[in-house]
Structure 1
Amino acid sequence: MNGRRYGALLVLLGALMLVSCVVSLGFGPARVPVAVVWDILLNKAFGLGEVHWTPGQEHIVWLIRVPRLLLGTLVGAGLALIGAVLQAVTRNPLADPHLLGVTSGATLGAVIVVLHIGEIIGLLTLPLAAFIGALLSMLLVLAIAARQGRLESDRLLLCGVAVSFVMMAAANLLLFLGDHRASSAVMFWMLGGLGLARWELLAVPAASVSLGLVLLLGMARPLNALMAGEQTAVTLGLNAARVRLWIFLIASLMTGVLVSISGSIGFVGLMVPHIARRLVGAEHRRLLPACVLLGSLFLVWVDVAARTLIAPEDLPIGVATAAIGGLFFIGLMRRR
């Protein structure tokens, strides 16, 4: 794909994203007309227009759905980025933070804080615990999978699945042993959802995803080299072990922050990078921005389905992404 077509594709995806954001805000148990949504956004953002909507509509759109929408775009973008780089450094098309145990480790760290420790350092306690859990889980997977200093992609995937089961078993045990009233509240969060979205909670995930995108774009050439193979990377003078370490650290940090707010949302990092590669190719300076837009767009509409399919109940997003991702995984296995 040449530069002009790539630029046109990004503009198209960006336009679709903007339209989807406005239209999706009208969906939910209480429907709000798109024209009213647009007027509320203009009024709140720029002070334009006269108020002709009810206070209830303003509260629903601005205080509930807009933060939820923004969190969904951040989570979708972040998980898609993580999946793309993990697939590159492991050279495994089935790699994603869920299958490599990172999500389960972050979940375990967050459950320990929620049920047994508490917010000892304020709002940062939960993201920090999730990050530590994600990092320890990733390091454990690497330690088990390494054979004579080398990482085999199939072995890495199997070890990730095994460690993920162990981490989730530990999290479930803590839920069983903890306060059952708190456990029931945590269960919905573990299934994945955007119900915790608040304006004051968006700064940390926004900073995490933005910084992660900048750092990963800066490592696009090493990622391309690793995707081509270990020997190619060494020939180009690349320290493959150091690059992998940095990638795993960045992936663990982003996963920990996102899981601490949205819970366990699986398979986004598996599906979106494959779709993006079909559109723009495997070169990471082009792939990563496409993953950001596609991941955000995907999760925005999955969230619409989650809050409308069984309204007024809120379907956990992790259930929807697991169903879609499981079918995608089966199709990918049959093709390869």
Structure 2
Amino acid sequence: MTAEAVTATPARHRRLRFVFITTLLAAALAITCVVSLASGQYALSPTEVAGILLQGVGIDTAWAPDTPSASGVILNIRLPRLVLGVLVGAALAVSGVLMQAIFGNPLADAGVVGVSSGAALGAAASLTFGLATFGMWTTPAMAFIGGLVAVFSVYFISRSGGRTEVVTLLLTGIAINAIGGAGMAFLTFLGTTSTREQIVFWQLGSLNGALWPNIAIVAPLTAVGIVVALFAARSLDLFALGERTARHLGLNVELLRVVVIVTVAVLVCAAVAFAGIIGFVGLVVPHLMRMLIGPAHLPLIVASAVGGALLIALADLVARTAVPLADMPIGMITSLVGGPFFLWLLVRTRRRSGGWA
């Protein structure tokens, strides 16, 4: 067997594994979407859901129920919520991949290091002070500014000697989250009853109240962020070799840093502006995908986007149906999953590095 054949075999196995895992995730996402649309206080069958969706795009079928309330529940309540959840999950997961790549640390995540808190603080400030400078885009714009300030702060504080120290990263995240929490508390104190309810909504994280106009804002932001991440994937592979090596190979490291950090802010602001703080998606999903398909960033970004969408869709299904006549905060559910995973990852990282003393 030639050297080329020996080299090609593992690469082919990785491609096949990527295709299999991504197809499996996509199929699970499709099934979850159908189950989510059919489940709830107003239960429907999958065929009735399919009939309503086809009817919504102008195709008449005998599957759709005659009652107009069924169509309203699906098209105006459940479907916007589901679509927003898929977009938010993809945005948070891809932002996690980018943060872990640029920090060179598997513990980096928008929620853990405070980027989500910064974005939520900016969004809450726009409502508390009645800002409307950019119309419907005001809240996402303020969330973007808050997230950008947070991610730049974390990056420059936690970097030392060309690398990111684990302890410094976590302590910086604690500080940024504390500052964001204090700011949210202050805005809660200043705000009216309605703005206080919205601030609590952001702190808990929820897809309740998703509207199509909100999705019209979140969708392009998420799409742009994921496209930029895909174009930056090869550069991130070079960056993973080390900054000095990447520079010798012709990579503009400074430009890559700025592009990735701005892209993270865009993705996080898209998620936080209308869904609040949903933690640990950007930590759990990229790490699991990296364990399954390897560290190459192009397949990792694609698989993480699908996996993040699946995780939020499942969490939202549980939030809506686990407790009768109640809608649990989705951020609570993701934290119940992500918290133990984060502790395991923390212990595993410490053991591999031989301690942090």
Contact conserved, 2:103 with 2:155, CA < 8 A, in 1?
Answer: no
1:333 and 1:137 map into 2 onto residues whose CA distance is: 22
Q: Which moved more, 1:253-262 or 1:222-231?
A: 222-231
How many residue pairs are counted as aligned between the two chains? 335
* 1:229-248 mapped onto 2 (5 Å cutoff): 229-248=242-261
Residue among 124, 128, 134 paired with 2:137:
124
Q: CA deviation at 1:327?
A: 1.0
TM-score (ref. length: structure 2): 0.89
Residue by residue over 1:115-139, the C-alpha shift from the partner in whole angstroms, topping out at 9 and shown as x without a partner, is 1133333111100000011111122
Residue by residue over 1:196-227, the C-alpha shift from the partner in whole angstroms, topping out at 9 and shown as x without a partner, is 31122212211111111111111111111222
**Residue 5 (structure 2) aligns with:** none
After TM superposition, where is structure 1 displaced by more than 6 Å over at least 4 residues in a row? none
Distance 1:236 1:161, change over 3 A: farther
Residue by residue over 1:50-100, the C-alpha shift from the partner in whole angstroms, topping out at 9 and shown as x without a partner, is 343422211111110001100000000010000011101111111011112
**Residue 44 (structure 1) aligns with:** 56
1:188 and 1:303 map into 2 onto residues whose CA distance is: 15
**Residue 141 (structure 1) aligns with:** 154
TM-score (ref. length: structure 1): 0.94
Code of the aligned partner of 1:48: D
Gaps of 5+ in 2: 1-12, 350-357
Contact conserved, 2:88 with 2:270, CA < 8 A, in 1?
Answer: no
Contact conserved, 2:104 with 2:163, CA < 8 A, in 1?
Answer: no
Residue by residue over 1:142-185, the C-alpha shift from the partner in whole angstroms, topping out at 9 and shown as x without a partner, is 3433446x342322332122112111211112112322443134
Residue among 310, 315, 325 paired with 1:302:
315
Q: Does 1:7 align with 2:29?
A: no
Q: Does 1:89 align with 2:107?
A: no
Contact conserved, 1:36 with 1:53, CA < 8 A, in 2?
Answer: no
**Residue 161 (structure 1) aligns with:** 174
Residue among 67, 75, 83 paired with 2:88:
75
Distance 1:224 1:117, change over 3 A: same
Q: CA deviation at 1:330?
A: 1.2
1:326 and 1:5 map into 2 onto residues whose CA distance is: 28
**Residue 34 (structure 2) aligns with:** 22
Question: Does the residue aligned with 2:324 lie in a helix, a strand or coil?
Answer: coil
Q: Which moved more, 1:232-241 or 1:67-76?
A: 232-241
Code of the aligned partner of 1:47: I
Q: Which moved more, 1:231-240 or 1:120-129?
A: 231-240
Contact conserved, 1:271 with 1:328, CA < 8 A, in 2?
Answer: yes
Q: Which has the larger radius of gyration?
A: 2
Residue among 261, 264, 269 paired with 1:256:
269
2:58 and 2:301 map into 1 onto residues whose CA distance is: 31
Gaps of 5+ in 1: none
1:47 and 1:320 map into 2 onto residues whose CA distance is: 37
Code of the aligned partner of 1:209: T
Residue among 212, 218, 222 paired with 1:199:
212
Distance 1:185 1:260, change over 3 A: closer
